[in-house]
Amino acid sequence: MTDKTPALRLENIVKTFPGVRALDGVSFEVLPGEVHALMGENGAGKSTLMKVLGGIHQPNEGRILVGEEPVVMANPLDAKAKGIVFIHQELSLAEELTVAENIYLGELPRKSFGRVDWKTLHARTDEILAQLKVGFDARTVVGTLSIANQQMVEIARALTVDAKAVIFDEPTASLTDAEKVVLFEVIEDLKRQGVGIIYISHRMEEIFRITDRISVLRDGQYRGTLVTAETDEDEVTQLMIGRSLDLSRNESHAELGDVAVEVRGLSCGDLYRDVSFEIRRGEVVGFYGLVGAGRTEIAETLFGLREPSFGQILLDGEEVRLHSPADAIARGISLVPEDRKGQGLVLGMNCRDNMTLPQVDDLKAGPFVAEGAEVAIFDQYRDRLDIRTPGWRQLVGNLSGGNQQKIVIGKWLSMHPTLLIVDEPTRGIDVGSKSEIHKLVRDLAAQGYAVMVISSEMPEVLHVSDRIVAMYHGELIRSFTSDEVTEDNLIQAISGIRPDEKAA
């Protein structure tokens, strides 16, 4: 392809887990100064390949070359020493420590007698943070940061090392557009310094914006490499899932029924103020806005996780007070939460038990859990959502990120809720499954469910919603029907510009 020596090469890597051949003879390389995308469906083996490279997993077969030289990545520290920096799909920060401590963990600058040199530590950290244009400083405790900002800390950590190659495993899954722009600048910088960059993402627009080449994995096998400038989304999709996708905007409208949920003048501290809206049966309402606009907090209130300070919630016309998720679930509300690892799943539990957890009291045979019924539910949603796992006994923590997300979705769909709230439902989900999930959301509406979709992805909101509500800083700015909405007026609304202000 070129005459440059790759910064890094993986040759014929095989990696198996009990019951799974995650990588089946995969080869992959990245050139210095290249951004090389690694794509594939959920469970295709992308993260596993990178974990082999990062010294987290040892391959069963195959070898790794840094420059011309074969190496063994004995452990993550070893890989780091060899210039491999890994930004993980799942965050791996110490929540109780400060940003600075996290970034320099294990190599804190020292003074005499081994005392930590806090001054230098904080100065160095702030320098890197300035480069990333983030709104927090070195002394901030990581646990107080949003997921997006925690992701920025992970990225900052990568910038402290003299890297040969940097691996980004779905770095933008929880970043805002503004943060993405900063990230892309950082990547440009690294590229100019001759660092090889491996970029994993399910988002086509990013892939086409920043990468030079695209390699595709499918079912643990290498499928081919495309030059980004010479290909298009369709070709990549074909290679990934073996078919093309229909990505048209939502035109179908389900028959609208009665109002399923109505919210009147709802406020919660300064998280959101005076919010009113309604969702009818058969309707999908998209909530669009920047991270921090208050959408997740509204969802949490509707799910009984927060008490509102003012206002009313009406379900089927009747005012309700929800004090716990158990209350909300009993009233037919489901929430697919934003943070799958923290809120959605018990990672040490198997797939089936996770999926049926909210209804375990209802699935009974005498005093016991009806395991047969549970397996039936699991099988149904595994097929419907195309969840890749060797079986229901697999621990959820061993599934790929996207497949974990599908378990959470299946868990709440199987509750047959009246109101289904989904918060960033397709985070980390591959393009094929994404359109499946969108279809599923439309189907649910057609069956008479009310659906509230919170998403930071404009195409997703446009694609699934009958109506779109734009929020800005805790206020509901405007509600659009799908005929009125355009990308422009949506972007204005989420920046806080109301239609009348624009006219003036």
Ligand X SMILES: Nc1ncnc2c1ncn2[C@@H]1O[C@H](COP(=O)(O)OP(=O)(O)OP(=O)(O)O)[C@@H](O)[C@H]1O
The binding site for another protein (CB under 8 A) comprises 12, 14, 55, 58, 60-63, 70, 74-77, 303, 305, 324-326, 328-330, 335, 337, 342-349, 353, 357-358, 360-361, 363-364, 367-369, 411
Q: Based on the shown chain and the rule CB under 5 A, indicate whether residue 401 belongs to the binding site for Mg ion.
A: yes
Q: Which residues contact 493 (CB under 8 A, 6 or more apart)?
A: 470, 472, 477, 478, 480
Q: What letter represents residue 104's amino acid? A: Y
**For the chain, first and last CA: distance in Å?**
57
**For another protein, which is the closer residue by CB, 240 or 335?**
335
28 and 9 in contact (C-beta within 8 Å)? yes
Give the one residue of 398, 418, 435, 455 binding ligand X; rule: CB under 6 A.
398
443: number of Cβ within 10 Å: 12
Write phi, then psi, for 70 (nearest 5 degrees): -70, 135
Q: State the binding partner of 227 from ligand X, Mg ion, another protein, none, CB within 5 to 8 A by kind.
A: none
Minimum gap (Å) between residue 401 Cβ and ligand X = 4
**For ligand X, which is the closer residue by CB, 222 or 288?**
222
Q: State the binding partner of 70 from another protein, Mg ion, ligand X, none, CB within 5 to 8 A by kind.
A: another protein
Q: What letter represents residue 441's amino acid? A: V
Q: How many CA atoms lie within 13 A of 160 on its CB side?
A: 25
Minimum gap (Å) between residue 14 Cβ and another protein = 7
Give the one residue of 10, 30, 37, 47 binding ligand X; rule: CB under 6 A.
47
**For another protein, which is the closer residue by CB, 72 or 130?**
72
**For ligand X, which is the closer residue by CB, 102 or 201?**
201
Q: State the binding partner of 294 from ligand X, Mg ion, another protein, none, CB within 5 to 8 A by kind.
A: none
Q: Give the residue closest to ligand X by C-beta.
A: 402
CA dist 136 and 109 (Å) reads: 21
Minimum gap (Å) between residue 457 Cβ and ligand X = 16
Helices 401-413 and 371-385 cross at an angle (nearest 10°) of: 120
Quote the tokens at residue 127.
């320098």
Q: Based on the shown chain and the rule CB under 6 A, indicate whether residue 462 belongs to the binding site for ligand X.
A: no
**For another protein, which is the closer residue by CB, 364 or 502?**
364
Q: Which stretch binds ligand X (CB under 6 A): 35-43, 90-98, 227-235, 413-421?
A: 35-43
Quote the tokens at residue 18.
């009990």
HEC per residue, 71-98:
ECCCCHHHHHHCCEEEECCCCCCCCCCE
| Helix locations, 242-361, DSSP H | 295-302, 325-330, 351-356
Q: Based on the shown chain and the rule CB under 6 A, indicate whether residue 308 belongs to the binding site for ligand X.
A: no
Q: State the binding partner of 324 from Mg ion, ligand X, another protein, none, CB within 5 to 8 A by kind.
A: another protein
Q: Give the residue closest to Mg ion by C-beta.
A: 47
CA dist 139 and 355 (Å) reads: 39
Q: State the binding partner of 462 from ligand X, Mg ion, another protein, none, CB within 5 to 8 A by kind.
A: none
Q: State the binding partner of 48 from Mg ion, ligand X, another protein, none, CB within 5 to 8 A by kind.
A: ligand X
Q: State the binding partner of 346 from another protein, Mg ion, ligand X, none, CB within 5 to 8 A by kind.
A: another protein
Q: Based on the shown chain and the rule CB under 6 A, indicate whether residue 345 belongs to the binding site for ligand X.
A: no
Quote the tokens at residue 203.
């988002």
Q: Based on the shown chain and the rule CB under 6 A, indicate whether residue 45 belongs to the binding site for ligand X.
A: yes
383: buried, middle or exposed (CB in 10 Å: 19+, 13-18, 0-12)? exposed
**For Mg ion, which is the closer residue by CB, 34 or 430?**
430
467 and 451 in contact (C-beta within 8 Å)? no
CA dist 264 and 313 (Å) reads: 6
Matching residue, tokens 């999908």 = 284
Q: State the binding partner of 398 from Mg ion, another protein, ligand X, none, CB within 5 to 8 A by kind.
A: ligand X
Element (H, E) at 186: helix 177-192
Element (H, E) at 433: helix 431-446
Write phi, then psi, for 27 (nearest 5 degrees): -115, 150
Give the per-residue contact string, 25-64, with Mg ion (x = CB under 5 A; - = no).
Answer: ----------------------x-----------------
What is the chain's length? 504
Q: Which stretch binds ligand X (CB under 6 A): 37-45, 185-193, 295-303, 446-454?
A: 37-45
243: number of Cβ within 10 Å: 9
Residues lying near ligand X in the complex (CB under 6 A): 17, 20, 22, 40, 42-48, 89, 388-389, 398-403, 428, 430
Footprint on this chain of Mg ion (rule: CB under 5 A): 47, 89, 400-401
